[in-house]
Structure 1
Amino acid sequence: MSQPPRPRLAGGFFLIAAIIIGALWGVTTQHVLLGLEIGAAAGAMMALAVWAYDRRVG
């Protein structure tokens, strides 16, 4: 018998969380767009890291 497929890890959470944190940082420093860009870049890197890990393990 074949085993059921292993559930995939959710990297999208890191993307959304980093964007929100970046936006909050941007509001406090009055550089909202910069905060969003930094948050999006950091979140994308974390999501890609989760994807790569999940692909290697799974």
Structure 2
Amino acid sequence: MNNPDNKPSSDRPRFGGGIFLFLGLLIGSIVGITMNEASIGMVAGFGIGGLLAILVWIFDRKRAEEGR
């Protein structure tokens, strides 16, 4: 795939942070169930997983810019 500068994009593989969303929901739900607050645990897990996914995305963008 070419970027607008007609230079080939980096050959480095891209990172994905979607697993953190899934694990956050799963672990948050399990912890929430043990504390009798499944919904709050799920929302908290989703928030933490989303934060980790965003951090992976930012890290990957910086890594891709260095590889140009």
On whether the aligned pair clears a TM of 0.5, the verdict is yes
Identity score, percent: 33
Bigger radius of gyration:
2
> Which of 29, 32, 37 is the aligned partner of 1:26?
32
The answer to whether structure 1 residue 41 and structure 2 residue 47 are counterparts is yes
Q: Aligned to 1:56, what secondary structure does the other structure show?
A: helix
Aligned positions, number: 57
User: Taking structure 1 as reference, are residues 45 and 24 closer, same or farther at Cα in structure 2, changes over 3 Å only?
Assistant: same
Alignment partner, residue 50 of structure 1: 56
CA RMSD between the two structures: 1.5
Distance of 1:13 and 1:49 partners within structure 2: 13
In the TM superposition, residue 15 of structure 1 has moved relative to its aligned partner by 1.1
In the TM superposition, residue 7 of structure 1 has moved relative to its aligned partner by 1.3
Unaligned ranges ≥5, structure 2: 1-7
**Runs ≥4 residues deviating over 3 A:** none
Unaligned ranges ≥5, structure 1: none
Structure with bigger helix share is 1
Matches within 5 A, 1:6-21: 6-21=12-27
